[in-house]
Structure 1
């Protein structure tokens, strides 16, 4: 196992750093590709070779080609996480094109960190099951720049001809990131939860990294799609309550049902594109609609088990433990 090398793009980011730690814990050497400074302690004698490159720049192709000479697989975690269309074009799409060009002719397989956001919830009903068979959004009419970027990123990987895993994690949480946008809106003092029914599609970042590294060491037999979710998926009400018990925040919260909120924003549809996300139905449905989820394919393909129930994993994360 020690002779294997996995390359990780976006290696200093939230997901990438967890993948580096998981690979090293298994005795797998890492080529850590990042744009900024490397975290303290990363060194070749610790099994981590650091390559600095801006993947959005054309010269990155040659840098990557040289960096990947020993890699069994590449975990591609570099991407723009926000809704800035120009940044998505550069840091998600152009960066992926350059990586794919560098991988052509090599032996490495690809593990793409995509997103569950590629699925089209406008074509699902409340209470429906979302798994790998759920419909995808149309990139030409995607609900936002982030979703469009992930759809086009997946399309580029399929067109490359490379063996690849398309991993679609739900909302990732872990040390330094225990809150997310899938519960509602407000502040630390007062928070409005939209509907307490339906599962939250959560996964702890260490679990996602475990799946990514396992995929890196496993032949997908072509291109294979997997949704990444934990087994213990809380409702929104349970999530907010657990976070309050662990941190004291939010101090006060009120729950408005999904159906009521959806009815309240319907009159705003003509001007909704100028309003925040939860006032726009496609984004509301993607983030808040009560759904059921399945991670059965993840179990079958790569194996998965939660380290502990959600509340224990949340407490570990708040305490800074991986």
Structure 2
């Protein structure tokens, strides 16, 4: 399917020797890089709120069935594909900006490895497979999933008109909390909405850290971000986002387990406290001038987001 590349096929500038660079067929590598399959952290950050929601919804309904196992697997497939489609759309809309930034000018579109038409076709293919997965969910969940395309479509343009593009990223990346809660419970209950807000606060935390890597280039080309907006005050803002994650996550969890026993409540609340511990660890090591550390901290949010899961699962068992 992919055509012969028009230019030599180099890795993206900040590549770290992943499976796409070393084992994927050469003709597919530009497309896999468009979808960031060489950088799975984004898929994890999209997926983890989905898994939180499944377990918290199971606590709310006091039920966990074999269909929930499919929700875990289906959300993983959907997260990988929709993250890929979203990244492809982002690269299409940002192709001129990416060509002006050292870290991104080697991406497939600005480097000439993939045309805009080819990227559009690749994006549509990913969306089509994701939609097939979505059709296995209940009708209301399908509707919730379809609406998610709106924040996904808007996000790449946010940095052009607001200093808070990370909010739009949070709206898109945490939509799975609404979708998977609805897929399990059949309705959208209030704890899912609060969980969604907690996820947005988490996104503001980790993506502000990430955005500091590009702050200088963004200033030169006029791209807005919370990293540029906060500047030297970033640590204080990160502390605020951390607090919001704990408060909102704790409230969502409390709502989900309110009718269960005390041990279940303690375990479930412990999940977000574990996440908060990890974010505190990140905050203590934040250094806006150290790009390698910024990237390490950003990637560590996969581990941070995994921490609540065993607590939620244990709460379901007691």
User: What is the TM-score normalised by the length of structure 1?
Assistant: 0.29
Higher relative contact order (CA 8 A, sep 6+): 2
Higher helix share: 2
| Larger fraction in strand | 1
TM-score, with length taken from structure 2: 0.29
